[in-house]
Amino acid sequence: MTRILIVEDRDALREMLKDFLSERYYVFDSVSAEEGEKNLIHYPDIVLCDLKLPGISGLDFIDIVKEKCPESEVIIMTAFGDIPTAVKAMKKGAFDFIPKPLDLNLLSVLIKKAEKSISMKRIIGKENAEFQIIGESSVFKNTLSIALKYAAANVPVLISGESGSGKEVVAKYIHLNSDRKENLFVPINSAAIPASLFESELFGYSKGSFTGAVTSKKGLIEIAEGGTVFFDEIGDLPLNLQPKILRLIENGEYQRIGGEEFLKADVRFLFATNKNLKQLVEEKKFNEGLYRRISTFTVNIPPLRERVEDIPALAEYFLKKAGATGKLLDTALKSESVENLKRLKWAGNVRELKNLMEKWVILEKVVFDNSFETEGDIIAVELSPDKTFKDINYEFERKIFEFYLKKHKGNKLALAKDLNMNYKTLLNKLARLGL
């Protein structure tokens, strides 16, 4: 259950908030920032704090919360005349503010947004803790060396490479080696968001800016404040938005849809593409100014076929991550299997290798789509003078159908299609074999 700390010196308002929130959340309260600091031992998810407090102000309390509970979100309550101060509070790290007298419906919306932000932080934090980048080849080490130099500088970086080569992994490597590593890494797939929704998703919108905009909404840029925004497939970014992205990079300025003011963003920008942006510029399909701005610092990721020395370590990592153990792992990492892996073309790069390793784990065998086979694919039948030909044939046939049943996870209709058998004939066959 979400934990909410209320810091409010007015008894009536504090009690009203407790009654309203206690039905859905675990709530504890304090009459001052000093008392609220003691309650931080409970590590609240959300701190609902008055701006003006006796003693330590709500503005200064934000610093205390961010130091002791960096994952917590602070929502400031303020009188209408103090809104400029509330804006300062957001610049110091407050999640949002709500004017008095309080609109409880708006408060509920803000709390839900704060919960979503916390959830995202925790997912990113878990991913960061589990993050690994694998590669010992000289060509890949050189790539990482360049990326590491750029990580220390707060400059936009363009990461180029074929599809599946690991552009997002290198982007995260840059983020985790920068001074922004404790903040969010927000990936944005430029090709996946519909053009009509892209601007609102990116910049957010103001209340009343269009039908249905009953409240204001933060965009991904605002959510990523202090962190890193990674634009994947930047070559697919809608052309009409590209000048706005250029302005955002150069001046750190953007506008919410329907907003009148320019907002300031403190974020680091990384970009990735598998397209030839220079050619797109010549074809008038990509903004020349944006291209020149993001292409100064470039990291080129080599395709997997140019770093085959990394295949054994990558294969082992993906196998273990997919749950491979014992005999399968031993067979998969035998020199014969590894050499066969190195001989493949890897048009899909690291992603293709990952998919193949997952397939091996699902099938519980080492198999290559190009007909390479290993001893893991052999169906063995024990021969014995005591066994008749009928016994041996029955055992062999049963093992074959066991294998195909496992391949199709017990789906007999899929099995019939795979073997080009009549479905009823298959059912009779399986019944005869005791399957």
Q: What is the pLDDT of residue 199?
A: 84
Q: What is the pLDDT of residue 353?
A: 94
Confidence label for 411 from pLDDT (cuts 50, 70 and 90): confident
For 144-153, how does the pLDDT look when each residue is reduced to its tens digit (9 = 90+)? 989 999 998 8
Domain co-membership, 153 together with 47: no
What does the alpha-carbon distance between residue 385 and residue 390 come to, in Å, rounded to a whole number? Answer: 12
Give the residue from 95, 120, 145 where a domain finishes.
Answer: 120
Domain co-membership, 88 together with 138: no
Domain co-membership, 139 together with 245: yes
Domain co-membership, 85 together with 141: no
Q: Which residues pair with 292 in a beta bridge?
A: none
Domain co-membership, 144 together with 292: yes
Domain co-membership, 138 together with 277: yes
CB 268 within 8 A of CB 221: no
Domain co-membership, 275 together with 423: no
Nearest residue to 189 via CA among 198, 181, 178: 198
Would you say residue 383 lies in a domain?
Answer: no
Q: Cα dist. 297→69, 165, 232, 237, 273 in Å?
A: 35, 19, 16, 19, 14
Give the residue from 276, 300, 324 where a domain finishes.
Answer: 300
- Token pair, residue 272, equals 């990735």
For 92-114, how does the pLDDT look when each residue is reduced to its tens digit (9 = 90+)? 888 888 888 888 999 999 998 88
Q: What is the pLDDT of residue 377?
A: 47
Q: What is the pLDDT of residue 120?
A: 66
Q: Taking 80 as the threshold, does the pLDDT of residue 123 lie above it? A: no
**Residue 427 sits in which domain range?**
389-432
For 24-59, how does the pLDDT look when each residue is reduced to its tens digit (9 = 90+)? 888 989 999 999 998 887 778 899 999 889 889 988
Q: What is the CATH classification number for the domain harbouring 12? A: 3.40.50.2300
Q: What is the pLDDT of residue 130?
A: 59
Q: What is the pLDDT of residue 21?
A: 92
Domain co-membership, 45 together with 136: no
Q: What is the CATH classification number for the domain harbouring 205? A: 3.40.50.300
Would you say residue 126 lies in a domain?
Answer: no
Q: What total number of domains does the chain contain? A: 4
Would you say residue 381 lies in a domain?
Answer: no
pTM score, whole prediction: 0.59
Domain co-membership, 320 together with 356: yes
Average pLDDT over residues 394-418: 78
Domain co-membership, 284 together with 310: no
Q: What is the CATH classification number for the domain harbouring 341? A: 1.10.8
Q: What is the pLDDT of residue 189?
A: 84
DSSP state of 127: H
Domain co-membership, 406 together with 310: no
Q: Cα dist. 209→201, 221, 241, 256, 258 in Å?
A: 14, 18, 18, 9, 5
Give the residue from 239, 266, 300 where a domain finishes.
Answer: 300
Q: What is the CATH classification number for the domain harbouring 406? A: 1.10.10
Q: Taking 90 as the threshold, does the pLDDT of residue 296 lie above it? A: yes
Domain co-membership, 216 together with 202: yes
Q: What is the pLDDT of residue 128?
A: 58
Ranges 183-192, 237-246, 388-397, most confident: 237-246
What secondary structure does DSSP assign to 308-365, as a single string?
Answer: GGGHHHHHHHHHHHHT--HHHHHHHTSHHHHHHHHHS--TTHHHHHHHHHHHHHHHTS
Would you say residue 74 lies in a domain?
Answer: yes
